[in-house]
Amino acid sequence: MPETDVIKQRHSVRNYKPERIEEKTMDLLKEKIAELNSEGRLHLQMIEDAGNTYNKLLNRMMGLGSAPSVIACVGPDDATLEQRIGYYGEKLVLYAQELGLNTCWAGTFNKKNIGAKVSDNERLVISIAIGYGQDNGKPHKSKTADQIMEAGTDRPAWFDKGIEMALLAPTAINQQKFVIRLNPDGTVDFIDKGGVFSQVDLGIVRCHFEIGAERKVGEI
């Protein structure tokens, strides 16, 4: 299936069936995690039993406590860690979607209970709930393309396709506080307009944009 279709199908899901992820699927996810960790210099970890990761009041109100498994997003603590987590974590989210799973990025979770391995030079940034959803979620309310881009009127078609996919990116509390700028020399800048987890958001947005634009645009 084209990745743009996978993007269109993905929505945050907060209520899960009790079934654990099938063994074969779990193996594929772990392979993908190993690949992304090496590419992105990360230490993403599959925690097969989410246990009490989502026992906070807010989690219970939203339903996330039903997630059977969770991905702990950990990596060496440097200036680009949060963006790399967003970028490579979203690649994993889209892969999971392709495998018939559902997910939800979650900044609110119990850091003590998740059971992640975090070395001295590393930081646990965020979690991703994963499992078989009770439903497939629903499209989020979205800003318009004009609200999130800076580009002239005679811009290339690939840029518009990138913007279309960027608008479908999950962002913390659906804030969409980013701007994507097309420079006269054809390079693209991703600009952080602040807010909670805005650097993670920016990495996710970059991942979506590149899929839509069918090209890699710069480095994190």
Ligand X SMILES: Cc1cc2nc3c(=O)[nH]c(=O)nc-3n(C[C@H](O)[C@H](O)[C@H](O)COP(=O)(O)O)c2cc1C
For binding to ligand X (CB under 6 A), which residues are involved? 11-12, 14, 62, 64, 104-108, 126, 137, 140, 170-174, 197, 200-201, 204
Q: What's the closest the beta carbon of residue 177 comes to ligand X, in angstroms?
A: 11
Crossing angle of helices 157-166 and 198-213, rounded to 10°: 140
Distance from C-alpha of 26 to C-alpha of 28, rounded to nearest angstrom: 5
Distance from C-alpha of 63 to C-alpha of 61, rounded to nearest angstrom: 6
**Residue number, nearest CB to ligand X:** 170
Q: In 3-state terms, what secondary structure has residue 78?
A: coil
Distance from C-alpha of 144 to C-alpha of 218, rounded to nearest angstrom: 24
Q: What's the closest the beta carbon of residue 165 comes to ligand X, in angstroms?
A: 12
Q: Which is nearer to ligand X, 77 or 151 (CB)?
A: 77
Q: What's the closest the beta carbon of residue 44 comes to ligand X, in angstroms?
A: 14
Q: What's the closest the beta carbon of residue 96 comes to ligand X, in angstroms?
A: 13
CA angle at 42 for the pair 34 and 4, rounded to the nearest 5°:
70
Q: What's the closest the beta carbon of residue 176 comes to ligand X, in angstroms?
A: 9
Q: In 3-state terms, what secondary structure has residue 6?
A: helix
CA angle at 92 for the pair 157 and 71, rounded to the nearest 5°:
145
Q: What's the closest the beta carbon of residue 207 comes to ligand X, in angstroms?
A: 11
Q: Which is nearer to ligand X, 137 or 162 (CB)?
A: 137
Q: Which is nearer to ligand X, 142 or 183 (CB)?
A: 142
**Paired sense of beta strands 122-131 and 69-76, if any:** antiparallel
CA angle at 161 for the pair 202 and 210, rounded to the nearest 5°:
45
Q: Which is nearer to ligand X, 182 or 211 (CB)?
A: 211
